[in-house]
Structure 1
C-alpha cells in the first residue's frame, strides 16, 4: 500500500462559476488550493488555515460544503497517494497568491485546461466540477 498524504482541498467557486487552480512554487502541476491536515486538526480546520495561508482568504467553516473523499497519485511526491477531503467553497473575495503558491488561474466550466494538472484534479475533481456546472441552474 502506498504512503498516503491526507489533505483538505477546496473546489473554490467564484460568482462567475469559475473554479480556482493553484501551482506551488517549483512545481509544474496545477491543483485545487488546500494542503496537509495537521495532527489534531479536522479537515475543515485545515482547509480554513490553508486558504488563509495560501490565498489570503478568510472563510467561515460553516460555508464549506463537504463533497467527499477522493484519492489519487500525488502530483509532486513520487510513491505517495493523496487522500483529499474535498469541500466546495463559494467566494467573491479576491485571492492573492502567498506562502508556497506561485501562480493561480481561474478556470471556466467550458474551458479545457492546457496546463499540466495534478492527477487528483485532472481525473476526479475537474470532472465533478464540470458535472456540477452542467447541472447548475441558469
Structure 2
C-alpha cells in the first residue's frame, strides 16, 4: 500500500475567471496553493494558512467553500497518494509567489490545458469545477462590488474575507 499524505488546497480565481495554479521550487507540476496541516488545524484552517503563506491571499477559514475531498496520486512524491480537501475562495483575487512557490500561473479553463498539471487538479478538481455553481468559480454575473487585489470582493474594510 502506498503512503498517504493529508493536504488542504484552495481554488482561487481572478477577475477574468482564471484559476490560480502554483509550482513549488524544485518541482515541475502546477497545482493549487495548499499543503499539510499543522498540529490541531482543521482542513479549512490549513487551506487558509497555506494560501496566505504561498501567495499572500488572506481569507478567513470560515469563508472557504468546500469543493470536495479526493484521493489522488501525489504530483511530487513517487508512489504516494494524497488525501486532499479542496476549497474555493469566494470573490476574485490577485496573487504573488511567496514561501516555496517558484511560479504562479492563471489557467483559462476555456482553453486547452497544459500537460504539467497535478493529477488532483486534472482528475478531480477541474471536473468538479465544471459542475460547480458559477459563484464558486470567481466572478458572479452582474457583480458590481469593488475588488481589492489582495483581499477579494469588497476589500479588507468589508470584514475579513
> TM-score, normalised to structure 2's length?
0.78
Cα offset for 1:124? Answer: 0.9
What pairs with 1:47-58 in structure 2 (closer than 5 Å)? 47-58=47-58
The answer on 1:31 being equivalent to 2:31 is: yes
Larger radius of gyration: 2
Q: In the superposition, relative to structure 1, how do residues 90 and 42 fare at CA in structure 2: closer, same or farther (>3 Å)?
A: same
**Aligned residue number for residue 46 of structure 1:** 46
**Aligned residue number for residue 7 of structure 1:** 7
Q: For the Cα contact (< 8 Å) 2:10–2:32, is it kept in 1?
A: yes
Structure 1 unaligned runs (5+)? none
Q: For the Cα contact (< 8 Å) 2:12–2:93, is it kept in 1?
A: no
Q: Per the alignment, in what secondary structure is the counterpart of residue 53 of structure 2?
A: helix
**Aligned residue number for residue 117 of structure 2:** 117
> TM-score, normalised to structure 1's length?
0.90
Structure 2 unaligned runs (5+)? 142-161
Cα-Cα RMSD: 2.0
Q: For the Cα contact (< 8 Å) 2:14–2:94, is it kept in 1?
A: no
Matched positions, count? 138
Q: For the Cα contact (< 8 Å) 1:15–1:90, is it kept in 2?
A: no
Q: Going by fraction, where is strand more abundant, 1 or 2?
A: 1
